Amino acid sequence: MNALAIPLTDESVDTVVANSVLHLISNPQKVLREICRVLKRGGAFICVDDVPGKVAETPYDNTQYLEVVNAFYREYWNRLGTHGIYPQKYSWKFDRNACCDSLFGKKTEKLIERNCAYEISLGDVFLPRMIGRGFSDQTNVPQGLHEKVIAELLSTFRQTYGNDFTEIKFRGIEQNISVTVYHKI
Ligand SMILES: C[S@@+](CC[C@H](N)C(=O)[O-])C[C@H]1O[C@@H](n2cnc3c(N)ncnc32)[C@H](O)[C@@H]1O
């Protein structure tokens, strides 16, 4: 469903979770108002943010992963650009805490301690999100054109990097995760 216009009645939901979503939405204030509207009194909004454009720091060499990700993304938009469609990026210029403090009665913070090494492949996150239009700047791309361009790119990248290019890995250190729980009272 579209978080900008949640198709649920007022005060009908116990808990809402937004993990790494608000920074990808054109109007996060509107989404927060929607979340508050559908939450029951006593309900909780559990929120974890990400930072747009954040470059993950890592002691590992991820050259090949980053090369493929950047090339795939660049080539996707090059091809859409020939159809007059360009990326629309949202920058996160709102103060989530100020906005939530005015909507919700109370908040608690929790820290999930991670600080551990992790490994993901292109097929784990980047490609499914790209293919599923999970990036904010893909939302206005017509589905038929999106599918055609993705099929062309997958074929080209298999030829260039091999059939198993989706197994190319990114290695990093996962930071601790800060979770905020807003309570509607
Ligand atoms: C970084 S992903 C996070 C996905 C998931 N919460 C997770 O933890 O893996 C951001 C998600 O926000 C979704 N999204 C972006 N705009 C949205 C909107 N207006 N309504 C609902 N979802 C949206 C995208 O489709 C994408 O799946």
Number of domains in the chain: 1
Rounded Cα distance between 30 and 120, Å, is 33
What pLDDT score was predicted for residue 17?
97
Q: What is the mean pLDDT of each run of 10 residues along the chain (185 residues)?
A: 93 96 87 97 93 75 96 97 90 85 95 93 95 87 97 98 96 91 96
Is 120's C-beta closer than 6 angstroms to any atom of ligand 1?
no
CA of 134 to the centre of ligand 1 (A): 6
What pLDDT score was predicted for residue 55?
66
Rounded Cα distance between 96 and 22, Å, is 9
Cα-Cα-Cα-Cα dihedral sign, residues 135, 138, 139, 145: negative
Is 125's C-beta closer than 6 angstroms to any atom of ligand 1?
no
Ligand 1 atom 26: residue of nearest CA: 134
Distance of CA 72 to the CA centre of its chain: 17
CA of 160 to the centre of ligand 1 (A): 30
Burial of residue 154, with CB atoms counted within 10 A of its CB: 0-12 exposed, 13-18 middle, 19 or more buried: middle
Is 21's C-beta closer than 6 angstroms to any atom of ligand 1?
yes
Q: Domain of 135?
A: 3-183
